Amino acid sequence: MTLTSAELDTFHRDGFLFFPGRFTPREAAVLRREADVVYGLERPEVWRESSGVARTAFAAHTYNEGFRRLGAHPRLIEPVMRLVDGPVYMHQFKVNAKAAFDGDVWQWHQDFGTWHRDDGMPEPRAMNIAVFLDEVTAANGPLLLIPGSHKHGVLDAGHDLETTSYPLWTLDRETVTRLAERGGCVAPTGPAGSMLVFSSLIVHASPPNISPFGRTIVYLSLCHVDNHIRLFKRPEWVAHRDFSAIQPLDDDCLDSLADAPVAA
């Protein structure tokens, strides 16, 4: 998948690109099936809300074949390689759920802020890419982005250890308000299989899901191999330590799993 000049211009202006339906319904269904398998596992990598429902499955590409293939899919890897100008490794892999009625909030933050402070990543030569496994609507806890906020560098943040199930370096209301007054606030929505690419510096969040409709999104955090982390305070399955370049698989690598039996 090659980004056009117009898409590159949009990314540099807004800090993100959105591609509705980039993966087929058949491919999205394969991954949604595998998400259910992963959420059913009792592993330290699978974090849960206070209610007990699954919130995040870290490093699923290391113990699930479907997500292993997604983690090397050319529709994900090749655009990011273009944006960071070189080969990439997997810094983090998450399957994030917003369960119906019980999906909790993710506060306003920049991902690079956490990676820099907690993992020693030197520069924001890293990118997030997301794949919707369910339809994401305005009602079921979509990702919120502030366009253009990636241009402001690393912002001051406080370490939130209480509000969510996962520690974050979060931004205060005054900072978020100032940025949104300049750039607005958007919530990309679309069918299962949609794909979102966004800068590790863009300010983003997601509201709680009190609707009766759950939604699951896979997030890959990809970093230039020369920009790998230097600190190892967090578990390896949260901040990965294999810095080898990802070799993209064939474009049809997910389709061949559609008729495979569900893993135990």
The predicted structure's pLDDT at residue 264: 47
Average pLDDT value for residue range 130-143: 96
Q: How many Å is the maximal CA-CA distance in the chain? A: 51
**Cα–Cα dist 72/87, whole Å:** 12
Instruction: Work out the pLDDT band at 261, boundaries 50, 70, 90.
Output: low
pLDDT (tens digit per residue) in 153-208:
999 877 665 555 566 788 999 999 999 999 999 999 999 999 999 999 999 999 98
The predicted structure's pLDDT at residue 1: 75
The predicted structure's pLDDT at residue 262: 61
pLDDT tops 90 at residue 215:
yes
**Cα–Cα dist 258/34, whole Å:** 10
Go through the domains of the chain in sequence order and give each one's CATH number. Answer: 5-225 (2.60.120.620)
The predicted structure's pLDDT at residue 237: 96
Cβ contacts of residue 67 below 8 Å, gap of 6+?
A: 31, 34, 38, 60, 61, 93, 95, 218
DSSP state string for 38-73? HHTS--TTEEE-TTSSEEEEETGGGT-HHHHHHTT-
> pTM of the predicted model, to two decimals?
0.92
The predicted structure's pLDDT at residue 54: 78
pLDDT (tens digit per residue) in 11-58:
999 999 999 999 999 999 999 999 999 999 989 999 887 777 778 999
pLDDT (tens digit per residue) in 71-100:
999 999 999 999 999 999 999 999 998 888
Helices (H), 42-169: 65-70, 74-84, 111-119
Average pLDDT value for residue range 54-67: 94
